[in-house]
Amino acid sequence: MDRAKKPAAIPVSPIQPTPQVSISDDNSRVTANLPTGQHVDILLYGATVVSWKSANGKENLFLSSKAHLDGSKPVRGGIPLVFPLFGPPTPNHPTGNLPQHGFARTSRWEYLGKSSSESSTLPNSKGDASVKLDFGLSSSMLSDSKWDYDFNLTYSVTLSQDSLETSLVVRNTGTSNYDFHVLFHSYLAVDDINDTTVSGLEKAAFKDKMQGGKEVGPAGKPIAIESETDRIYTTAPEQTIKVLEKGKDRYELTRDMLSDVVVWNPWIEKAKGMADFEPENGYKKMICVEAGSVSAWNTLEAGDTWEGGQRIKAL
């Protein structure tokens, strides 16, 4: 029997595509893809990001064709994570027995899982169009770190439609205070280093490693790479850094709790001298703009937590 007033049909919402995350068959890497085409690839060795592609397929990170991806050496390229030491070992310091740049980049991390709904701690993030991958490393996972402190690290990599975020939470789970450095050693891909400049550091003083760590005053102009460059700039975390190609914005770097920016390019001779740097003229295709806290030690008291991060926006 027909009724005069039938109940309205309940509308069915179309199924929205969601980010896809997969783990390689050999359990060595985690890959995430957004429905809009963005991609990130992370090794469990060092929790090293080795690829970040925009929706159009353009690769944003430089990775040496001779990079060791099997866990035998630190990865040359991508975004190696530096902790708890930046640079060579420091004599008469608890980090004195550690390898250069510490052990985080050469340790196997645990994949903790994914989330596509959490908002970022950094401003203007698009949490609804992103996927966050979490990785963990603790002192109990290391057989011989040569660093006698208890810690727990949570490293998060968030892929969004126009950016990649990396953040680190350091927890002191022991009874002793300790000092540490942290740095995201980002190798950014560029078309030609001769057409590349870095802005946002014009008013910042820096330590020039090419002059033995000499303190140099602000240059007052954007950075152009014309020879081997290795500098540590100190500037307020709220200062935005940009990488430009032919005068047009290519990347935008935003930092949280990280007051240092390392700018590095090996140039011709140093590139030739690195066995895992290929092609030899690859220095023309990359620039390292590295957010960190390395110009002074960060002291973390027993039971306390430290957190910092960066967002790199591809423009």
Amino acid at 13: S
Antiparallel, parallel or unpaired: β 229-234 and 223-224: unpaired
What DSSP letter does each residue of 130-194 carry, written as one string? -EEEEEEEEGGG-S--S----EEEEEEEEE-SSEEEEEEEEEE-SSS-EEEEEEE--EEE-S-GG
Among 59, 226, 290, 301, which one carries the catalytic annotation?
290
Among 165, 181, 185, 301, which one carries the catalytic annotation?
185
Q: How many Cβ atoms are within 10 Å of 70's Cβ, its own excluded?
A: 10
Whether 280 is catalytic is no
Whether 110 is catalytic is no
Distance of CA 248 to the CA centre of its chain: 23
Could you give the CA distance from residue 236 to residue 254 in angstroms, rounded to a whole number?
A: 11
Give the tokens for residue 175.
């009874």
Beta bridge partners of 242: 199, 252
Residue 115 burial (CB < 10 Å; 0-12/13-18/19+)? middle
Q: What angle do CA 289, 188, 292 make, to 5 degrees?
A: 30
Could you give the CA distance from residue 298 to residue 138 in angstroms, rounded to a whole number?
A: 18
Rg, Å, the chain Cα set: 21
Q: Looking only at Cα atoms, what is the longest distance across the chain?
A: 93
Beta bridge partners of 276: none
Could you give the CA distance from residue 279 to residue 63 in angstroms, rounded to a whole number?
A: 10
Antiparallel, parallel or unpaired: β 151-159 and 131-138: antiparallel
Question: Which residues are the active-site residues?
Answer: 185, 290
